[in-house]
Every structure is written in C-alpha cells, then in structure tokens.
A and B are shown apart, each in its own frame.
Chain A
Amino acid sequence: EVVMTQSPATLSVSPGERATLSCRASQSVSSNLAWYQQKPGQAPRLLIYGESTRATGIPARFSGSGSGTEFTLTISSLQSEDFAVYYCQQYSNWPRTFGQGTKVEIK
C-alpha cells in the first residue's frame, strides 16, 4: 500500500498570505496525484489532479506541482473561503490512498 504523508498537520496563515502544503508518497505514483478541499460539514471537492491540472471552476490561486513522490499544493493568496482541510490522494496504485490531511486555519 502506498502511504501518503502530508505536512504540516496544521498551517496557520493570515488572509492574503501564501500557503504551501506538502504531500509525500512512500513510492512513486508518477503524476497520479490529486488534491481535495473539505470544509466542515461538506463533502470534499476536487481541486487539482495530474499534479497540476485545476478541476472545473477552481480559481487560479490554487496550483499544484511535483511528481514521483513529492508534491506541493500552493494557495497564492489565501481568501476567507480557503480555510479548510486539504487532502492529497494517489490514484496510481490499488488501494487508492489519502494523506491524513492538512488543516489550514486563520492566524
């Protein structure tokens, strides 16, 4: 099983600042990596897939990078609606696996 490790567990950021979230895979997942956003009481929403492709309707302030085992999600200028939990997921190997999540909170 591919273990996905996200860091940090919690990120405290002020509105308007940049946020950088990391995700590491225990083995290469090529470019089969997705990022999801989940707000309290809501279902997750796909943000980024294939490392860096934004899903439909996702603002340009969200960007993804990386390949193989190291991946990054960057939010260039945090808006109030971006405070949430973010999960990475590999869909290269079975079973599909998620990271444990990074909570982005208001500083």
Chain B
Amino acid sequence: EVQLVESGGGLVQPGRSLRLSCTASGFTFGNYAMSWVRQAPGKGLEWVDFIRSTAYGGTTEYAASVKGRFTISRDDSKSIAYLQMNSLKTEDTAVYYCTRVGGGGSGWPDDYWGQGTLVTVSS
C-alpha cells in the first residue's frame, strides 16, 4: 500500500524557515517523481514544486510564487522528499500535501497524496 506521511509543519514567524519531510512507503521511491501541492484555508489547490526521479536527472520545477525561496529535494536511500521553505510569508500559510507523481518524469498526474501538514506563518 502506497503511503505518504508529511511532517514538519507548524507555526513560524514571517521571514523564518521551515523544512517539511515526506516519508514514503509501499513503492520503489526512486522510480517516481515527487511533488508538493498546497491549499490555503478555505481555498483551492496550488501546485508548488516538482522533482523528477534520478533516472530523469532529478531536476526540479517551481511555481513562480515560491521560486528562489523554496527548495525541493529527495533522499532515495531513505525514501524521503523534502521541502525547504525560506523567507516565509503570511501568504504561504496552507496545508502542504506531498504527492507521488505517476512516473519518473513529467507527463503524469499526482496519483497518491499524503494527508497534509499545516504550515501557519504568523507573527
């Protein structure tokens, strides 16, 4: 059974940093791209970033709203994806979902989702 478990969320002040982790199980992590999608309270879904599998170069993509502040990475030996969030803004407040992409590269949807972790940016 595919499982994705996010951790690391919480309350953080504007301008500070936070790192989210997504621990995966039930599949060969290294074969899949991974992504983060967020949802502000009462709002719709917003794609955040994406990392290809190592076989596809492990390259990354970012939404304009987070580019230069957020970094997605992966540790295939531990089956963990990370989201390093720097220079946080109040508008980054959201539930952050880790997703598995259906293949190693782009061209696949988000086929499994974690339960999400809440990040609140407030002074």
Q: 1/0 contact trace for B16-51 toward A, CB 8 Å?
A: 000000000000000000010100000011110010
Q: How far is the CB of A7 from chain B (nearest CB, A)?
A: 14
| CB proximity of B13 to chain A, nearest CB, Å | 27
Q: Judging by beta carbons under 8 Å apart, are B61 and A55 in contact?
A: no
Q: A94-B61, A97-B47, A101-B44 are in contact. Are A45 and B107 (CB under 8 A)?
A: no
B61's closest neighbor in chain A, by CB? A94
Residues B46 and A34 in contact, CB atoms below 8 Å apart: no
Known contacts A49-B102, A91-B106; A98 and B111 CB within 8 A of each other: no
A91→B111 CA distance, assembly (Å): 12
Chain A residues with CB below 8 A from B114, complex form: 43
A34 to B44, CA, bound (A): 15
Question: Which chain A residue lies CB-closest to B45?
Answer: A98
Separation of A97 and B35 alpha carbons in the complex (Å): 13
**Which residue of A is nearest B67, CB measured?**
A95
Q: Say whether B104 faces chain A, with CB atoms less than 8 Å apart.
A: no
State whether A95 and B111 are in contact (beta carbons under 8 Å apart), knowing that A43-B97, A43-B116, A49-B102 are contacts in the complex: no
Asked if A100 meets B44 with Cβ closer than 8 Å, knowing A43-B97, A95-B63, the reply is yes
CB-defined A-B contacts under 8 Å, sample of 26:
A32-B107, A34-B110, A43-B97, A43-B116, A44-B37, A44-B113, A45-B113, A46-B109, A46-B110, A49-B108, A49-B111, A56-B111, A87-B45, A89-B45, A89-B47, A91-B106, A91-B107, A91-B108, A91-B109, A95-B47, A95-B61, A95-B64, A96-B35, A96-B50, A98-B44, A101-B44
- Which positions in A face B, CB cutoff 8 Å? 32, 34, 36, 38, 42-46, 49, 55-56, 87, 89, 91-92, 94-101
14 further contact pairs, Cβ within 8 A, besides A45-B113, A49-B108: A43-B97, A44-B97, A46-B109, A46-B113, A49-B109, A87-B45, A89-B47, A89-B109, A91-B106, A95-B47, A95-B64, A96-B50, A97-B47, A98-B44
